[in-house]
Amino acid sequence: MTPFMKRMRKGTCLRPESARAILHAERYAYAARRPLNVFITMKFPKVSKSGDKPYDVFRKKFWENTRRRWNTMVKENRAFSPFDAIAVFENPPTSSKLGRRHHGPLHVHWMLRWPFRKCKRLQFFLRRQFQREFGVALPSSVRMQRVRYGPRAAAYLAKGIDAPFAKHFHIDHAPQGPIAHRRMIISRSLGPTARKRAKAAGRDPLPKKRKGYYRKFRPVDLTRLIGSVGWKALPQAAKKSSKVSKKHRPPNARSAFAMGKRKRVVNFKNSPVSIQP
């Protein structure tokens, strides 16, 4: 905590405990080899068609529907994998052309794990749901991009932290305005209970250093690959034979390559002369 700096009011900033939870969730996701690779930003209008608040609409329609799609996709692949995501709401202060200060627009930054080849389909579903809930889906309403470096993206999510604690977490503080509901959402698979279970299983949930992922070479069974025929079944390169037959060549004769080769003798007075051996 930075000394001699006044703390912000509750409800107008992100608590240091919440910022730590965001950073630890992203760190644990990378350590568990489930990195959060997609970053989504959604800007909400003031009122929805149903009259519900944007937080309720996001939690019921966007978060839950995306989680169901993830579970269906994983079930088709017959491999269990939890839904990992972090969402943070922001309402930053802005000023109009007339100089009036206000807060908005209300938006949410959403970092989750999703296959890159299926991101286009996910964006289509999000934009369609956005149009159903709010009437119009502008191009800037739903934006999706790739996460290049996870810690930097997590620090960007936590930039609304209380100002005295920003230096401790190495975060560039930026006020994000008052919010009347929960400011962040973290999936249970990245929470403290999941980290405790990983630690009890003998894994380090929060390693100090990030280790790159290296693909292990798949072991190849050559006998199964070749079959019962053996090595003769593999295609072999044909041997190159010389034009001169071995029957008509004496044992001490030069090879066909040497017989066709010419020597060059350089005469400094005259031009180079080619001599046949």
CA separation for the pair 23, 88 (Å, rounded): 12
CA separation for the pair 45, 108 (Å, rounded): 12
Residue with tokens 């999510």: 157
Return the closest-CA partner of residue 38 out of 128, 117, 105.
117
User: Hey, what are 102's tokens?
Assistant: 């206000």
Residue 270: its pLDDT value, please? Answer: 52
Residue 208: its pLDDT value, please? Answer: 85
DSSP string, 124-173: HHHHHHHHHHHS---TTTEEEEE-S-HHHHHHHHTTTB-GGGTTTTT---
Per-residue pLDDT of 4-38, as tens digits, reads 677 888 888 899 999 999 999 999 999 999 999 99
Residue 8: its pLDDT value, please? Answer: 82
Residue 241: its pLDDT value, please? Answer: 53
CA separation for the pair 196, 180 (Å, rounded): 31
pTM for the model: 0.72
Residues in a beta bridge with 107: 43, 90
Amino acid making up residue 221: D
**Res 140 pLDDT > 80:** yes
Per-residue pLDDT of 208-240, as tens digits, reads 888 776 444 455 454 554 454 444 444 455 555
What contacts 183, CB < 8 A, 6 or more positions away? 14, 18, 88, 89, 160
Residue with tokens 């503080």: 173
Report helix, strand or coil for 57.
helix
pLDDT band at 41 (very low <50, low <70, confident <90, very high): very high
**Res 273 pLDDT > 50:** no
Return the closest-CA partner of residue 113 out of 151, 84, 139.
84
Per-residue pLDDT of 159-190, as tens digits, reads 999 989 999 999 999 988 888 889 999 999 99
User: Hey, what are 175's tokens?
Assistant: 């006020």
Per-residue pLDDT of 59-72, as tens digits, reads 999 999 999 999 99
More confident of the two residues 264 and 69: 69
Rounded to the nearest 5°, which phi and psi values hold at 123?
-65, -35
CA separation for the pair 179, 223 (Å, rounded): 65
Amino acid making up residue 58: F
User: Hey, what are 149's tokens?
Assistant: 């470096």
